Amino acid sequence: MLTHSVSIESFWDRDRLAMMKAKKVVVLRNGARRKFEKGFPWFQRNDVRMPEELGQGELVRIEGQDGSFLGIGMANRGARFPVKILTTEDRAIDGAFFRERLDAAWAYRAGMELESNAWRWVHGEADGLPGLIVDWFDGHVAVQVRNAGMERLKDVWAPVLAERAKSVYERSDMAGRKEEGLEDVNGQLSGDTPDRVEIFERNVKYLVPIKDGLKTGHFLDQRNSRYRFADRVKTGEKVLDLFCYTGGFSVVGAVVGAESLGVDLKYVAVETARANAIANGVDVPFVQGNAFDYVAKDAEASGPYDWVILDPPAIGKTKETRESLKWGIWKLVHDALPLLAANGKMVVCACTWQMNVDDCWEVIQLAAGDQGVRVVLEEVTLQDLDHPAVAHFPQSLYLKCLWVRRV
């Protein structure tokens, strides 16, 4: 069911092609060879020996200590992982390279029954394109560039995307870029992206704020969990959707006939959520506010709830901040558990690879114990299939949602 416009050969001149050939050599130390052989795409400072003179994000040839060719990568001295590998072939990183990778990523998703006209086309490292995120919204594309190498290669990949999409918009305004020495970018790369792009997921419409929403505009990774929720929620049930963004779960609930209420901190989220409710012909109150405060102070008045959805942002993506995320989730679960009706369900999500399913379950156990409430774990959902979790890059499995029931 996936379709995009037919690819056309784009202009490509020899000088630019030469620029995209790696000239400098980075030597991979023998101690890091095993990592490379397993297919892990990132190397730390002590894994490699780098040349003194190196442009930010410059393409490099990666060689073994014995001088053997290992691959082509992108190097950035200042980054936590200064070398990221693009290919193990000795080739130019040109338009043809990106066409191949983009086509492979497209073909991989073509067999998925996503029941939508929006999907993640490129999931960075998991699709062999470190640091490049590409989301497809009914022909309009939103991209995010996470490292200096992909930033430097923008002139190469952006025209290839432009060949295939009605419009390409860049949303590289994110915390991780500073670490790579990059400024935020928010702007049109080609075509003309509407302020709101309408997409569907099954029978639910969403307006996607590509230009001023969060990340690339819509949390495609939660699509399967929204579908699962649609299958489980029942007419007349009460749903509290905390961190609701544009009403992902709350609108689904209302379309099924539930009584939903959504809370989000951001004006653009709440405003778009209201528009989404209207687009689907349902009535959902959305509150702009802090979900931590709301659940602790205000939520009781409209409870008890048959469903509480907790889908906070990853406040911590590093080991150092993992503890604060765990505490944040404990606090939310702790305060939300008493709001559940008998047999009420809670969906607890964590979107960082730093917290695995066991960590989340431990946090829920602690919160339930502290409240003296009994819960049973019923199922676990992960990021949807168009966000592949590949074994050779463990960081690619980042989203997990634990579905628990109060018993």
Ligand X SMILES: C[S@@+](CC[C@H](N)C(=O)[O-])C[C@H]1O[C@@H](n2cnc3c(N)ncnc32)[C@H](O)[C@@H]1O
**Burial category of 196 from C-beta neighbours within 10 Å (exposed 0-12, middle 13-18, buried 19 and up):** buried
Q: Which is nearer to ligand X, 48 or 351 (CB)?
A: 351
Q: Which is nearer to ligand X, 166 or 238 (CB)?
A: 238
Task: Based on the shown chain and the rule CB under 6 A, indicate whether residue 210 belongs to the binding site for ligand X.
Answer: no
Residue numbers 384-403 binding ligand X by CB under 6 A:
none
Q: Stretches 35-43, 51-59, 158-166, 262-270: which one binds ligand X (CB under 6 A)? A: 262-270
Task: Based on the shown chain and the rule CB under 6 A, indicate whether residue 279 belongs to the binding site for ligand X.
Answer: no
Give the residue among 63, 57, 49, 52 at the shortest CA–CA distance from 75: 57
Q: Which is nearer to ligand X, 48 or 251 (CB)?
A: 251
- Residue 398 Cβ vs ligand X, minimum distance, rounded to whole Å: 11
- Residue 264 Cβ vs ligand X, minimum distance, rounded to whole Å: 4
Q: Can you give 275-341 as a three-state secondary structure string?
A: HHHHHCCCCCCEEECCHHHHHHHHHHHHCCEEEEEECCCCCCCCHHHHHHHHHHHHHHHHHHHHHEE
Name 143's bridge partners. Answer: 134, 170
Q: Which is nearer to ligand X, 246 or 396 (CB)?
A: 246
| Contacting residue, 20, 214, 251, 375, with ligand X by CB under 6 A | 214
* Alpha carbon 299 to chain centroid, angstroms: 29
Task: Based on the shown chain and the rule CB under 6 A, indicate whether residue 265 belongs to the binding site for ligand X.
Answer: yes
**DSSP character at residue 130:** T
- Residue 249 Cβ vs ligand X, minimum distance, rounded to whole Å: 6
Task: Based on the shown chain and the rule CB under 6 A, indicate whether residue 269 belongs to the binding site for ligand X.
Answer: yes
365 CB contacts (<8 Å, ≥6 apart)? none
Task: Based on the shown chain and the rule CB under 6 A, indicate whether residue 219 belongs to the binding site for ligand X.
Answer: yes
**CA 165 to CA 142: how far, in whole Å?**
10
Q: Which is nearer to ligand X, 157 or 243 (CB)?
A: 243
Q: Which is nearer to ligand X, 59 or 239 (CB)?
A: 239
Phi (first) and psi of residue 114, to 5 degrees: -85, -15
Give the residue among 396, 394, 325 at the shortest CA–CA distance from 133: 396
- Given CA atoms 177, 395, 91, 135 in this order, what sign does their dihedral have? negative
- Residue 226 Cβ vs ligand X, minimum distance, rounded to whole Å: 6
**CA 371 to CA 369: how far, in whole Å?**
5
Task: Based on the shown chain and the rule CB under 6 A, indicate whether residue 266 belongs to the binding site for ligand X.
Answer: yes
Task: Based on the shown chain and the rule CB under 6 A, indicate whether residue 222 belongs to the binding site for ligand X.
Answer: yes
Task: Based on the shown chain and the rule CB under 6 A, indicate whether residue 154 belongs to the binding site for ligand X.
Answer: no
- Residue 291 Cβ vs ligand X, minimum distance, rounded to whole Å: 4
CB 8, CB 162: distance < 8 Å? no
Max Cα distance, the chain (Å)? 70
* Alpha carbon 379 to chain centroid, angstroms: 22
Residue numbers 75-134 binding ligand X by CB under 6 A:
none
The residue at minimum Cβ distance from ligand X is 248
| Contacting residue, 248, 253, 303, 344, with ligand X by CB under 6 A | 248
**CA 226 to CA 398: how far, in whole Å?**
17
Token output for 235? 């007419």
Helix ranges restricted to H, 120-222: 148-152, 154-164, 176-179
CB 168, CB 190: distance < 8 Å? yes
- Residue 55 Cβ vs ligand X, minimum distance, rounded to whole Å: 35
Q: Which of 244, 351, 360, 401 is catalytic?
A: 351
- Residue 349 Cβ vs ligand X, minimum distance, rounded to whole Å: 7
| Contacting residue, 94, 127, 311, 335, with ligand X by CB under 6 A | 311
Q: Is 360 an active-site residue?
A: no
Per-residue mark of binding to ligand X, 155-194 (x: CB under 6 A): ----------------------------------------
Q: Active-site residue numbers?
A: 351
Interface positions with ligand X (CB under 6 A): 214, 219, 222, 243-246, 248-249, 263-266, 269, 290-292, 311-313, 351
